Amino acid sequence: MSRAAVVLGNGALGAAVVRALGRIEPEVRPPVRVVSRTARAQQQGVEYVSRDLTNAQTVGDVCADAEVVFHCAMPPYHKWTTDFEPLHSAILRGAASARVPLVWGDNMYAYGRTAAPRTEETPYATFTRKGRVRARLADQIWEAHGAGHLQATIVRAADFYGPGARLSTAGDFIFEKLLAGKPAQWLGDPDVPHAFTHIDDFASAMVALSRSEVGWGRTWHAPTLSGLTARDFVAEAARQIGADAGITVPPNAVLRLLGLFNPALRATFEMEYERTEPFLVDSALFETTFRRTPTSLASGISQTLKWYRGEAERAVGRRGAA
């Protein structure tokens, strides 16, 4: 029997990794196990297991028969500074004890502010609390890898969008608003260049790297569209919906007031520079190595809208059945 591919985390990225694994040819596709604190079955043919991932022994047990583990687990955004490192440490120790290679889905926070496109060689210059957390988590992976305790690789993405990516800045703030006939919202300057990663490109990169000998021991950037503006992004979404391409930018004073009652919103404030200054990402290394390009904006938005409309139909069905 084939060894399992274990996905830690059942959020948007974990679900996208499951989809990417499902696209592997059936004759070589590994069985897939998804592990999270509150496992909720989403796809037939996939094993969903509820476990506490802050326990290294538990992680080691669920990875005991694995060929690879995809680390997509994270605490709520506003708890990163307190809860992320214990979770991450337990996952690394558990994977090391099971002697299973690990692929971590990371973001760009560790690089901090830079006017140049971020490459895999960009030095860390973070000045935010969440950026420092992400940098420490990456350092822990490379320390374990360098010591021979864990074979690992890191895959990074920019602001992602796509099926299930509701909590991204390019999620509900844009798609749910436009589909409801309201202007999209952007928490920054909609006219500065920005980078967007389709979540399925992110997941597919993680899977591709896990199945390639060249993938281990370094950081990679998933295929990313860079240089668009939020206004460009919203305009394409509005075009496909047939709506006005309206976009609003809530005043900082309003956001600060709302943040008093919304810890997730309050946690975004220190990352404001990513949305008020040019935020560029270079993903040429992965694209040239694996001959893959980012999903086009038109196609990516089409897939995202299809998912949102499907979710709306399912919500209506659930209310009708209640």
- Counting residues of the chain whose pLDDT is more than 90, the rounded percentage is 85
pLDDT one-digit tens code per residue, 25-61: 999 999 999 999 987 777 888 999 999 999 999 999 9
User: What does the alpha-carbon distance between residue 274 and residue 165 come to, in Å, rounded to a whole number?
Assistant: 18
Diameter over CA atoms, the chain = 58
Categorize the per-residue pLDDT at 5 as very low, low, confident or very high, splitting at 50, 70 and 90.
very high
Cβ neighbours around 126 below 10 Å, total: 18
Confidence of residue 314 (pLDDT cuts 50, 70, 90): confident
Residue predicted with more confidence, 251 or 69:
69
| CA–CA separation, 201 and 102 (whole Å) | 18
pTM of the model: 0.95
Q: Residue-wise over 276-299: b if at least 16 C-beta within 10 A, else e?
A: ebbbbbbbeebbeebebebbebee
Residue 294 has pLDDT above 80, yes or no: yes
Sequence-distant (6+) residues with CB within 8 A of 104 are: 71, 137, 138, 141, 152, 153, 154, 155
- Res. 173: pLDDT tops 60: yes
pLDDT band at 321 (very low <50, low <70, confident <90, very high): low
Measure Cα distances from 61 to 52, 56, 58, 101, 242 in Å.
11, 9, 5, 15, 50
**What average pLDDT does the segment 68-86 reach?**
96
177-199: average pLDDT: 96
Nearest alpha-carbon partner for 165 in 15, 310, 282: 15
Per-domain residue ranges for the chain?
4-165+195-224+281-295
Q: Which CATH superfamily is domain 4-165+195-224+281-295 in?
A: NAD(P)-binding Rossmann-like Domain (3.40.50.720)
CA distance 128 to 7: 29
pLDDT at 322 over 70: no
